[in-house]
Structure 1
Amino acid sequence: MTYETIRVEIEEGIATITLNRPEVLNALNSQVFNELAAAAKNLGEDEGVRGVILTGGEKVFAAGADIKQMASLNAVEVVKSIRPSRIAFNLIENLQKPVISAIAGYALGGGCELSLTTDVRIAADNAQFGLPEIKLGILPGGGGTQRLPRLIGAGKAKELIFSGDIINAEEALRIGLVNKVVSADQLMAEAKKMAKKFISKGAIALQLAKSCINEGLQVDLETGLQYEHKCFALLFATEDQKEGMQAFLEKRKPNFQGR
């Protein structure tokens, strides 16, 4: 598929999606969301892709939604306009493969919300994060009020959303918004290193582990534990489980095949 607002490259089982609207700081609009959704769907179905990295490039991740597109909308039009972002974000969040966001520069508003849909966030030391929608008389409408509290806790999420403040990479690391901070020139190398570590493991086990975490966050503890138990037992029907345990007993590296 040909994309206009993103680039997709695949190398050694790792797909890199790069937001590609540098002239507007990778502002997010309906076309971007539609192309992200298409890419997520295609990569999810591509058996040759084991992991995904989402980035905006070396200078900026995404500076937020395209305000010019939003400013003149009425309430009915907003409901319709939000749909592409929800579809894209849900597809990325529930992709049955590990997704890492590599974030440099601004990750504001919808850009910050986009990063929240990924499994792991790695930030360059020049990254800045924030949900400044409150300053526009609105609230985060791309999942920020739901995903952020689940990640960093309700109190800190409310502070960031109520104030609209922008925080730097070190503060984002301190509060658990990102997993790691590296120098800007090492951002993609670190993201690829982590992705390679993830995809070296059993693909089915990783897929079910992600599902257990994502599903468990939406239900009570007992329901989540029951789901985990079923997934754990299911893995004993896979060749990867046999290979992994046999390799452990034989003191060698396992050769997982994803089946």
Structure 2
Amino acid sequence: MANELGNIDITEEAGVLTIEVGRLDDATHEGLAKVFRIAHESSADVVVLTGKDRSFLNPMNYDIEWVKHLAVYKDMLKIFKEAEDIIRDIINCEKPTIAKVFAPGAHSLGASIALACDFVVAAEDATFSDPHLSGFGVVPGDGGSLVWPTRIGLGRAREFLMLDKVASAQEALDIGLINRCVPVDQVDAEVAGMVEKLQSYDQVGVRFSKKWLNQYMRQNMNVAGMGSLYAEGMVFSHEDFVEKVDAYAAMLQEQGGYEES
């Protein structure tokens, strides 16, 4: 299964399906478009999503050469379909989903995926942002334009999606972006407590509660989903996209985050 899903590992124990996501490349992006359907069809009660080595799909863990290939038309069509499937499948997965986020936090695609989950539990030293526009010069088309306004409203979402605002975990909690902010050594226990509570209920009731609570997101995705993806694609095809990616990678290298694969 791991080979089919790229840098994604799945384990199931005691009714909990845990998804750990590593370095983002083509195979892993493709795997993300499959893994929540696997979760949906599993026998688990709850799905926990986290990052390998505590990194939650940060841009510093992207395969930068793969990002550059998004400028190729045939690659764009594949990525668009996968991006839509990733967010839609998280929303449609009948099992409650919990994103477990450690520092440095959830950013860009990582933020979109975390915020599409039903619950987000973060270490107090984690941060949240969406640098699609500021970093790569593209539209937040992989779910950011849907999940940020859904959680915190359009006015606040504009600050993060258009003004390069970064939220600490405490601020994210205060504005309703996430559900829990705890010391790093309490994250696992907090998630375990949430899982225990969810498993104590009738599971049919839990699944239908999620289904109807997510109706609003499903409706909005039908409006915002593909439109924002196509807008993102228009920027991918612009002649200076690769230059922007190179500049962003250089900045991350200076910060000691990004390493060449």
TM > 0.5: yes
Q: Cα distance, 1:114 vs. partner? A: 0.9
**Inter-partner Cα distance in structure 2 for 1:216 and 1:149:** 12
Which ranges of structure 1 fall in alignment gaps of 5 or more residues?
A: 22-27, 221-259
The 2-side partners of 1:67 and 1:137 are apart by 15
After superposition, what is the alpha-carbon deviation per residue over 1:151-190, rounded to whole angstroms, capped at 9, x for unaligned? 1000000011111222211111111111010111221221
Map of 1:212 onto structure 2: 212
Structure 2 residue matching 1:7: 3-state secondary structure: strand
Query: Which consecutive segments of 4 or more residues in structure 1 shift more than 6 A?
Result: none
Unaligned runs of 5+ in 2: 221-261
Is 1:98–1:195's contact at 8 Å kept on the other side of the alignment? Answer: no
Report if the CA contact (8 A) 2:130-2:160 is conserved.
yes
Which residue is equivalent to 1:143? 143
- Equivalence for 2:251: none
Partner residue, 1:68: 65
2:249 aligns with none
Where does residue 98 of structure 1 map in the other structure?
96
Q: Provide closer, same or farther for how the CA distance between residues 189 and 215 of structure 1 changes in structure 2, counting only shifts above 3 A.
A: same
Work out the number of aligned pairs and report it: 213
Q: Report the CA distance shift for 1:86/1:217 in structure 2 as closer, same or farther (over 3 A).
A: closer
Change (3 A) 1:218 1:15: closer
Give the structure 2 partner of residue 257 of structure 1: none
* Inter-CA distance 56–34: structure 2 relative to 1 (3 Å threshold): same
Structure possessing the higher relative contact order (Cα contacts under 8 Å, 6 or more residues apart): 2
Show CA shifts across 1:210-253 (max 9, x none): 11111144559xxxxxxxxxxxxxxxxxxxxxxxxxxxxxxxxx
TM-score by length of 2: 0.75
Amino acid at match of 1:56: G
Identity of aligned residues (%): 30
Q: TM-score, normalised by structure 1?
A: 0.76
In the TM superposition, 1:1-259 aligns within 5 A as 1-3=1-3, 4-21=6-23, 28-47=24-43, 49-57=44-52, 59-64=54-59, 66-74=63-71, 76=73, 77-105=75-103, 106-135=105-134, 136-218=136-218
Is the CA contact (8 Å cut-off) linking 2:108 and 2:129 kept in structure 1? Answer: yes
| 3-state SS in 1 of match to 2:214 | helix
Secondary structure of the corresponding residue to residue 70 of structure 2: coil
- State the superposition RMSD in angstroms: 2.0
CA distance in 1, matches of 2:84, 2:219: 21
Higher normalized helix content (fraction of residues): 2
**In structure 1, how many angstroms separate the alpha carbons of the residues matched to 2:9 and 2:203?**
25
